[in-house]
Structure 1
Amino acid sequence: MNIKLFARYMQCELCGVSIQGPPKIIQIEGAELCVCVRCSKYGTEVQQPRRTSAAPQKKPGLAVPQTRKRPRDVFDLMEGDLVEDYADRIRIAREAKEWSTLDLAQAIKEREILIKKIEKGDLIPEDEVRRKLEKALNIRLIDSTEDSTSAGRAGQVTMTVGDVISFKKNRK
């Protein structure tokens, strides 16, 4: 099926309008979207490879899953949320044990410069290092959701997007 003919039946994945003319493939936050010309300004256009006559053509409507490797993010590997004052907690616990940064580094078998950067807040500790620090200093650096809900947040109601929409409808 010709792309122009196929475009008549396509809708913009961003605004939902029926696409007039050739669709644009753009990338927003790592996601590739098929959009209209007006919405193409919201992302960076992705160059599509030219089809050769020898290459088999894909049928429209059949999605082929793409397996692209995302860059490794330290936040994906974490079990919970790291407390905001992790650097202060580590420094205070280390000083309470009367350890230098070198003593702590030797205790957890890491480099001293790593400990210094973590204590300054310049570096977020990876899960393995965080566990070593928690064990060596007898502290907790993860703020798990169970802990925060049981520690005085009972009865607190959070608002969702649906609540906002129904609230605005009721005001009119």
Structure 2
Amino acid sequence: MQCELCGAPIRGAPKKVQIEGAVLQVCEKCARLGVELAPPRPVATGRRTQARTQPRAAARPPQRGRDVFDMMVGEIVDDFGDRIKKARLDKNWTQKDLANEIKEREILIKKIEKGDLIPEDAVRVKIEKALGIKLLDVSDEDLERRGTGKITTTVGDIIKIKRE
């Protein structure tokens, strides 16, 4: 093998160095011109060196936890800022009045109305309640899929609780 910097034949193992951003395999002489990169760490095999006192449990496939998107119903409408502003003006409220009503900062209301910020679910619910509007685009299929809206305990949840 030849040194990638000077072209001389490399005796022994090449050195991996970084010289001005380039990673090169070089000889001993050229290795001092750059920063030597550490060799990669060996990958752990997952075995422990100490003896186990308890027998190892059978390997289980990883279980998929509940996802935030599983409970999500519909999407926020595209013109949420305009709808909020229109409903606020229909009540003759300023942005400060709305912010005080939902106990949030006025700057948050300004950003939401401009469309610079999509409201989080908690803020969205407070705005909907205060102004009497709906900001979610919900289809009939989504409502049927959601059912009661309550999270019920499943057999898998009970098994998980028992193991813990």
TM-score range, shorter chain: 0.3 to 0.5
TM-score (normalised: structure 2)? 0.46
TM-score (normalised: structure 1)? 0.44
